[in-house]
């Protein structure tokens, strides 16, 4: 007669990682050189939020978000206020390992604020993976890539300067680059032409309009740069003009169209898919509200036949590593991650600054996100 084993409740089968403390820090880390100019603002520092979640027994996890004007729905100040006033108090006592319940609590605390919610969810995933003794990519289902490659960037600069930057990136080991466009399609064409001539056919080239052109202008630009074999054209039309994006996709001469500013939550991704507005979508762990929400959107995109690019341009080490580890879990993610923030900052708040200088990085084997806070640097770069 076989023995009967009574089913055990979840609470009995594994320890609860009850959240006891959520610490929230605002930091401002200087950027290299004189800073960076994009379609929205010139930045000389990266203002970010860092979250440390401590569970019963002392287990900790780290989260980090890097809001940027023009890209993020809320400012860094608004995100910090939401974290301290509503989100952190709302998860005290919750099980850090139960992300479904955690996300429900975060949504109950306040609508919106996906960036801020991502900081807490990221920290809880890090904590849970550390408690299990596995890297976050293993916690998320396993890595399908052991080495990740990264995407260089070239700003709105004269053609000869763009060509020199492209050669520099290529010599360092980068095999893909994004060229910013805007302010005039003939100048854009000349910049793209100069870069292609500088690197030949060995580098994948992307262009990004940051929603700065209307669909008519974007179509004209697409035809002007058609001879230069672009990998993709990012956000060629305003974020809310999905019909315009779809028209660019139909009439741009075959270049793949990527939606970035048009993508926020799962509903916006589905709207892009229904409109036929993109071939590729860009996802960011921060912008989409954390690992689990982003992974769900990644699966939806793949099911719809859309490839994905992962990453945001200005980020500290914790958030950067989060995107690296998520990207490693899916073959649907295009090589050339855009989480290259550590290349733009003079320092970080981690004990070891990520070195992306050669354009590739091997996945770290350690538990969680594989990064630790440097308390001295956290204090040095804090702002009220």
- The residues annotated as belonging to the active site are 180, 284
Please list, in sequence order, all residues whose beta carbon lies within 8 angstroms of the beta carbon of residue 98, skipping any fewer than 6 positions away. Answer: none
Instruction: Name the residue with tokens 């990519």.
Output: 137
Rounded to whole angstroms, how far apart are CA atoms 146 and 105? 34
How many other C-beta atoms can be found within 10 angstroms of the C-beta atom of residue 377?
A: 17
Rounded to whole angstroms, how far apart are CA atoms 76 and 316? 14
Instruction: Read off the tokens for 104.
Output: 């429900």
Tell me if residue 372 falls in helix, strand or coil: coil
Rounded to whole angstroms, how far apart are CA atoms 120 and 378? 18
DSSP per-residue letters across 117-165? HHHHHHHHHHHHHHHHTSBHHHHTT--S-SEEEB-EEE-S--HHHHHHH
- On whether the CB atoms of residues 273 and 259 are closer than 8 A, the answer is no
Q: Is the dihedral of CA 197, 199, 203, 206 positive or negative?
A: negative
How many other C-beta atoms can be found within 10 angstroms of the C-beta atom of residue 201?
A: 9
Instruction: Read off the tokens for 300.
Output: 């939806």
Nearest one of 309, 315, 312, 323 to 363, comparing CA atoms: 323
Rounded to whole angstroms, how far apart are CA atoms 348 and 345? 7
CA 173 to centroid of chain Cα atoms: 22
Instruction: Read off the tokens for 147.
Output: 């080495």
Rounded to a whole number of angstroms, the CA Rg of the chain reads 21
């Amino acid at each position: 007669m076989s023995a009967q084993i009574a089913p055990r409740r979840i609470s009995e089968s594994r320890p609860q990682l009850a959240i006891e403390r959520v610490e929230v820090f605002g930091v401002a880390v200087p950027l290299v050189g004189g800073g960076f100019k994009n379609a929205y603002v010139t930045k000389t520092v990266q203002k970010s939020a860092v979250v440390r979640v401590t569970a019963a027994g002392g287990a900790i996890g780290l989260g980090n978000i890097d809001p940027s004007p023009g890209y993020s729905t809320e400012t860094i100040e608004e995100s910090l206020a939401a974290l301290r006033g509503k989100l952190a108090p709302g998860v005290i006592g919750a099980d850090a390992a139960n992300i479904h319940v955690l996300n429900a609590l975060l949504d109950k605390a306040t609508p919106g604020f996906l960036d801020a919610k991502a900081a807490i969810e990221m920290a809880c995933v890090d904590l849970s993976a550390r408690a299990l003794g596995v890297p976050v990519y293993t916690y998320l289902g396993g890595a399908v890539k052991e080495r990740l490659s990264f995407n260089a960037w070239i700003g709105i600069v004269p053609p000869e300067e763009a060509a020199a930057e492209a050669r520099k990136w290529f010599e360092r080991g980068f095999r893909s680059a994004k060229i910013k466009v805007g302010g005039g399609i003939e100048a854009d064409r000349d910049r793209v032409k100069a870069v292609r001539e500088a690197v030949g056919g060995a580098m994948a080239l992307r262009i990004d309009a940051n929603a700065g052109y209307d669909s008519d202008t974007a179509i004209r630009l697409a035809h002007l740069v058609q001879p230069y074999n672009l990998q993709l054209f990012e956000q060629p039309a305003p974020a809310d003009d999905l019909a315009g994006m779809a028209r660019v996709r139909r009439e741009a001469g075959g270049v793949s169209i990527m939606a970035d500013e048009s993508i926020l939550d799962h509903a916006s991704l589905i709207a892009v898919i229904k409109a036929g507005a993109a071939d590729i979508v860009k996802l960011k762990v921060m912008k989409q509200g954390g690992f689990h929400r982003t992974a769900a959107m990644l699966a939806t995109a793949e099911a719809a036949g859309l490839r994905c690019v992962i990453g945001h341009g200005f980020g500290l080490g914790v958030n950067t590593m989060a995107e690296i580890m998520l990207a490693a879990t899916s073959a649907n993610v295009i090589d050339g991650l855009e989480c290259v923030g550590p290349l733009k900052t003079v320092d970080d708040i981690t004990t070891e600054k990520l070195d992306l200088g050669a354009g590739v990085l091997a996945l770290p084997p350690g538990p969680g996100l594989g990064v630790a806070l440097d308390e001295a640097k956290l204090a040095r770069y804090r702002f009220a």
